[in-house]
Amino acid sequence: LAAIRARGGRVVVVDPRRTETAAVADEHLAIRPGADVLLLAAMLHVIFTEQRTRLGPLAGRVKSVDALAALVRDFPPERVTVRTGIEAPAIRRLATDFAAAQRAAGYGRVGLCTQRHGTLAVWLLQALNLVTGRVDAEGGLLLTTPAVDAIDVLSRIGLRGTFDRWRGVARGRRECTGELPVAARGDEIQAAGPGSVRALITVAGNPALSAPNGARLDRALGELDHMVAVDPYLNETTRHAHVVLPPAPPLARAHYDLALNVFAVRNVAKHAAPVVPRSPDERHDWEILGELAARVLAPRVFRRPALRAAGQLRPDRILDLLLRLGPHKLSLARLREAPHGLDLGPLQPGRVAARIVTPNGKIDAAPEEFVREARASRRAEADRGTNGDLALIGRRHLRSNNSWLHNSARLLRGDHDCTLLVHPADAAQRQLTSGDLAELQSDAGAVTVPVEVTDAVRPGVVSLPHGWGHGRDGVRLRLAREHAGASVNDVTSERFLDTLSGNAAFNGVPVTLQRRP
């Protein structure tokens, strides 16, 4: 980010909170939570009406651009100003500057997709990049060429994603790539009749703290007929397990990153050898899961010779094969000769065409399913004002990772991190000052939290970090229990969803706040 600014570029952050990134940006637009989809639609409206579109290197590879233009025609900046909290001139300037820049990229991650219209917002962000020529272009969005191309491997064996092949038994939630959204888990466990979930295996997970309406899910986990946890911790979730299988510690196993290299900012490859030996009675995750699979599926599956042989393949053999078949023709032996990793060069344009696996070989700028959902919700969202209630958003900390680093003495040093950020105007209205305890309530539940008054959040917005809430019986995390905090997912709801994907909306949750006596 500093290098972009040093070259004369601009960094604009759109976020309800003045984040660490916003603090070093050229401009911060404090949007109302959940309104990103309207801001992006308005920006696209400006770009289409002012004829600033250009497809760049993907011209001829994109369809339905006219349908996208027709959809955003109803979203001039003036119409979305109240809902977004951003003035129309600022929206117009942002759109025209983005379209006119020689090089630009729109980037959004967790905050963008975990809201009421998260799927539509992510789509429109990529559509913005697409119609302004930022995709597969230098200075815009480029794809990696990883040593092990996981996406290519999955595509070659036919795993290109699925949607709505089947539905959950409880509320008819739609399948996506063989999975149901986490918001459906409690319903699927507590559903009556055949098809409900009666057994569960968790692997390094803590859904009692990480899933919406965690208090309800916590109760549902206690109703399972059988639960197995592959986890080193006895935490808020694994305390319900009938069997806990702790794997060998991370430093006792080799590591090669298959996932994050796909999203890297430069093509690299590194294999890390184990740092410490494992004990004779310890098993790696893959050994535990392989044994569970053999016992659960045998003899129905593993009696087949080919599958039985596949079950004996070790990760290092699989990795070596994938490296040899990959675009850089490496081997595990070559990586072991370079303990600090290999630099495989910068990202290069020209990768997108090979990634398009649609039947007609084109990118659909306006998929029918997305357009239908956008039309169904556009009028209510664009015209909806604000009713004076507060909107809850999450946040992360540098010394914390989800729920599992709160038992580290080194990382827990300093001030207590689980505080509710409240704008001074909202705090004054409720007679709150920093350090006061307040009750945060939603349709799903309520928690008591210490208040931190700050102008880092916009008026009408409160922020509580996720991953806390360790003060429960049966949890064997001494330091975490001493700094228990409150679980934000005790006030998020499994009914407050992104309609299209069925995933929970963790940002923009309607809440009330009042001082505790």
**pLDDT tens-digit profile of 2-26?**
999 999 999 999 999 999 999 999 9
Rounded Cα distance, 395 and 202, in Å? 25
CA distance 257 to 383: 45
**Strands in 419-483 per DSSP E:** 420-422, 437-441, 446-453, 461-463
Confidence of residue 165 (pLDDT cuts 50, 70, 90): very high
pLDDT at 157: 83
Predicted confidence band at 308 (pLDDT cuts at 50, 70, 90)?
low
Closest Cα partner for 271 from 310, 315, 311, 231?
Answer: 315
pLDDT of 499 above 60: yes
The three-state secondary structure class of 504 is strand
Are 253 and 287 within 8 A, CB to CB?
Answer: no
Helix (H) or strand (E) run with residue 227 in it? strand 226-230
SS3 content of the chain, % helix, strand, coil (to 5): 35, 15, 50
Cis peptide before 299 (omega within 30 of 0): yes
Q: Give residue 459's Cα distance to chain centre.
A: 25
Domain 382-515 has CATH 2.60.120.10: no
- What predicted TM-score, i.e. pTM, was given to this entire model? 0.93
pLDDT band at 305 (very low <50, low <70, confident <90, very high): low
Percent of the chain with pLDDT over 70: 94
Question: What topology is assigned to 31-141+350-376 in CATH?
Answer: Dimethylsulfoxide Reductase; domain 2 (3.40.228)
Show me where the domains of the chain are located. Answer: 31-141+350-376, 150-346, 382-515
306: confidence class by pLDDT, cuts 50, 70, 90: low
Confidence at residue 302, expressed as pLDDT on a 0 to 100 scale: 56
Q: What local confidence, expressed as pLDDT, does residue 312 receive?
A: 66
Is the distance from CB of 351 to CB of 151 less than 8 angstroms?
A: no
CB 376 within 8 A of CB 116: no
Burial class (CB in 10 A: 0-12, 13-18, 19+), 260: exposed
Crossing angle of the two packed helices 65-72 and 118-131, in degrees rounded to 10: 120
Q: Which residue has the higher pLDDT, 304 or 284?
A: 284
Neighbours of 49 (CB within 10 A): 13
User: Which DSSP letter does residue 238 get?
Assistant: G
CATH number given to 150-346: 3.40.50.740
Q: Residue 297 pLDDT more than 80? A: no
The predicted pLDDT at position 254 comes to 96
31-141+350-376 and 382-515 share one CATH topology?
A: no
